[in-house]
Amino acid sequence: MGNLKIPPGKAHCVKPVSDKTIPFSGKKTSTLYLLNQAGRRVDKVEVDGCAITDAVCCDWAVELDDHFSHEEIFIELKGSHITHAISQIEATVVRLSSNPAQTRKRCLVVFNRDTVSRAWFQRQQRRFQRDYNADLDRLRNGSSHPL
């Protein structure tokens, strides 16, 4: 693996995992569980405060790169500020993605309280698909999501 552009000296922010359930939690915010039923080896990257310390960024990134697929997943755990979460994910995609326009991506916003309209979020989904080849989804706190 290792296609994400992790800054030099930040390899300690990347942890290979193959657990069936991979937890992601934030400081006083939300929790997400990625379900890894096949036990695939993935790289779990702590982005905020580790891989990136000098700019706006999302909380976590995951890289899958095996004979099944090559995909990047960007995760922001939020209480309610979904608009800010999307800008954090976008900044991280631009900075860390191996190829922001081409590599397949999933961007996940996990929230406690939804604060945006469905129409606004759908516009963001279309923009992310067009600009970043990314599926943008929002999930409730405590959700499980398949790899």
Digit-coded pLDDT (tens) for 38-86: 999 999 999 999 999 999 999 999 999 877 788 999 999 998 889 999 9
Residue 139, pLDDT score: 95
Give one DSSP letter per residue of the chain, joined into a string.
---S-PPTT-GGGEEEE--SEEEEE-SSS-EEEEE-TT---EEEEETBTTTB-SS---SEEEEEESSS-EEEEEEEE-SS-HHHHHHHHHHHHHHH-SSTTTS-EEEEEEESS--S-HHHHHHHHHHHHHHHSEEEEEEETTEEEE-
Res. 1: pLDDT tops 60: no
Residue 101, pLDDT score: 86
Q: Categorise residue 41: left if φ over 0, alpha if ψ from -120 to 50, beta otherwise.
A: beta
* 8 Å CB contact between 13 and 6: yes
Res. 13: pLDDT tops 80: yes
Residue 2, pLDDT score: 66
pLDDT digits (tens, 9 = 90+) for 86-139: 999 999 999 999 888 888 999 999 998 888 899 999 999 999 999 999 999 999
